[in-house]
Amino acid sequence: MAFRADERDLIAADIGAYLERQKAKELLRFITCGSVDDGKSTLIGRLLHDSKQIFEDQMAALESDSRRVGTQGSNIDFALLVDGLTAEREQGITIDVAYRFFATDKRKFIVADTPGHEQYTRNMVTGASTAELAVLLVDARKGVLEQTRRHSILAQMVGIRRFVLAINKMDLVDHDADLFAAIVADYRAFADRIGIDQWIAIPVSGLNGDNIAARSEAMDWYDGPTLVEHLETVPIDSESDEAKPFRMPVQWVSRPDPSFRGFAGQVASGRIAPGDEVRILPSGRTSTVARIVTMGGDLDEAVAGQSVTLTLEDEVDCSRGDVIAAASQAPHAADQFEATIVWMADEEMVPGKGYWLKLGTQSATATVAHPKYQLNVNTLDELAAKTLDLNAIGVADLTVDRPIVFEPYRDQHDGGPNRALGGFILIDKLTNATVAAGMLHFALRRAENIHWQALDVSRETHARLKGQKPAVLWFTGLSGAGKSTIANLVEKKLVALGRHTFLLDGDNVRHGLNKDLGFTEADRIENIRRVGEVAKLMADAGLIVLTAFISPFRAEREMVRRMLPDGEFIEVFVDTPLADAEARDVKGLYAKARAGELPNFTGIDSPYEPPEQPELWIDTVKMTAEQAADAVIDLIERRR
């Protein structure tokens, strides 16, 4: 069909006006959660249908799918709009988080359909992490269940403050007003106990559409808003974010040409304008905003939620991971915290193990201490725990290897979440899998109260008196590889050369300093941490320290490397095939491990991660112990 020029102009104007109206609408992110088969996916499908977000061909396919899966009568199974995975459709349950977009005349919405099964708690946390409101579905026939309480606690924990108790399937209980009131009273007692005060209860039927977008004639006793009316009018948290102090984590330093240097990121909170004074953290340097640049041109002001590039008046050191903040209301930096941790991996948490921590655009190595307690989400009891396993929620202290800029996840003033600087994830260094999500409570006071004491006699003075360069020779390899034999020979040769040395042997250290530790992964990590600290102190005294430890994990060897100045950690990989190590097993340890008498034995039922770039690689198949010792001496002498 051809249009006249004036008709095309009118159509273009209508489209433009429509797009401008859509752009101007506020966006509300919310989740649906609750127990299994409460009708979460059906409710979202009904919202999409009633807001006219389904095309005719989609509707025809939905009707066909509904007949195929056996939906009773002429009803449509709206859950099929959201449950897109084959496994979900076969089981009739939600497994993964499904996000859907829809809009009404007043607002735009992004809704996350989250799983109800306890085993998919981590998926529910993922969906809740960006939401501002939670719709808790309750089957009117069952009332408030364990998962209703669990999801309420989790949603509140990640910063959601507004809730809708959608009591669903009212058509199956004859729209009973007294039953509705009883469920509301039951949930009110629970909500009061955990501190949820912004919530509303709505009786609905997702299948029939009662009180979803249109008021139900069958429940004329209910005089509150429909679900859509409430979603269109509930306050949005982003409004309060604009009232907070300015924060922008730097994602990227933009240098398109030598004349321009800008710092790109999303404004996490507050507002900023040219001329405002800012502070770069963690360095603490201050400057003034010169320009606010976007793809559409310069702005007079930027507010929370906008992605911008800032240029500064001064040439200050600022890079990815730094935070640009209001100079007069800057956040703090620390390296020790208390945090709530939601464990999301099949493998349990290993206290003391090094994980990557990502907080906004910042990255650091973090170690988690033994939990202070694990939360029972049904009773809210604080239970003793040595570790955290899949879907467990606990509180623990964590330490990072450098100060990071942070704010408590729960805002002290309005109770809203500081997600950009308070929420973090932990990543396994070996697999790169996300293993946990967490919320920072506060920096530990000991991190602020403990300071380095200035000493008059420096480590350089100690080294000069001994006439040598300090070093830590870290011999690593399988049990029976020959680490202790070679280290002992090296020390004898160094002493003959007049060097000042000390040898820390794995077995000897476990008789004293580390006699309280076993051979679990957590104990092995703590064993290496303590030895690393002792070796560092000895190197500070100017000694050449030799250590002979299996030290099977790369992350822990790197932890020790970071304790020392550059060039002082010398990793010596004593490489011996497992069969050869077993053959020379004078202690009989491998035989016991093969028989199941020594659990967690490296090389048998516990892994060994060989160094990727050691300073010295010794192949014991090709070299004798004497030749290996000479190679180490040669390396040390070349460093002088």
Distance CA 94, CA 41 (A): 8
Which bin fits 211, alpha (ψ -120 to 50), beta or left (φ > 0)? Answer: left
Q: Is 287 labeled as catalytic in the residue annotation?
A: no
- Determine phi and psi for 70, rounding to 5 degrees: 90, 30
Q: State the DSSP code for 77.
A: -
pLDDT tens column, 527-578: 888 899 999 999 999 999 999 988 888 888 888 998 899 899 999 999 998 8
The pLDDT assigned to 89 comes to 40
The pLDDT assigned to 267 comes to 93
pLDDT tens column, 135-168: 999 999 999 988 888 888 888 888 888 999 999 9
With pLDDT > 70 as the criterion, what percentage of the chain qualifies?
Answer: 85
Q: Which segments of 104-229 are extended strands (E)?
A: 107-113, 133-139, 162-168, 198-203
Nearest 5°: the CA angle 477, 479, 480 is 100
Residue 45 binned pLDDT confidence (cut-offs 50, 70, 90):
confident
CATH topology of domain 22-236: Rossmann fold (3.40.50)
The pLDDT assigned to 1 comes to 47
Contact predicate 460/357, CB 8 Å = no
pLDDT tens column, 260-270: 999 999 999 89
Residue 321: pLDDT above 70? yes
Residue 97 is encoded by which pair of tokens? 């988080």
Write down the CATH superfamily of domain 333-449: Translation factors (2.40.30.10)
Name the binding residues for ATP: 477-484
- Residue reference for tokens 């399937």: 169
CATH no. for 459-639: 3.40.50.300
Residue 580: pLDDT above 90? no
Write down the CATH superfamily of domain 241-329: Translation factors (2.40.30.10)
Length of the chain: 640
Q: Where are the domains of the chain?
A: 22-236, 241-329, 333-449, 459-639
Residue 81 binned pLDDT confidence (cut-offs 50, 70, 90):
low
Sheet of 133-139, strands arranged across: 98-103, 107-113, 26-34, 133-139, 162-168, 198-203
Region of poorest pLDDT, from 193-202, 232-241, 510-519, 524-533: 232-241
pLDDT tens column, 90-105: 444 444 677 888 888 8
Compute CA 512 distance to the chain's CA centroid, rounded to the nearest angstrom.
37
Name the binding residues for GTP: 34-41, 113-117, 168-171
Catalytic residue among 205, 216, 269, 551: 551
Give the type of residue at 418. Answer: N
Which bin fits 34, alpha (ψ -120 to 50), beta or left (φ > 0)? Answer: left
pLDDT tens column, 438-479: 999 988 865 445 545 556 788 889 888 998 999 999 999 988
Distance CA 437, CA 349 (A): 12
Q: When comparing pLDDT for 378 and 527, which is higher?
A: 527
Contact predicate 337/245, CB 8 Å = no
Contact predicate 270/242, CB 8 Å = yes
Q: What residues have CB less than 8 Å from 367, skipping those under 6 apart? A: 351, 352, 353, 354, 355, 398, 399, 525
Name the binding residues: 34-41, 113-117, 168-171, 477-484
Q: Tell me if domain 22-236 and domain 241-329 are identical in fold.
A: no
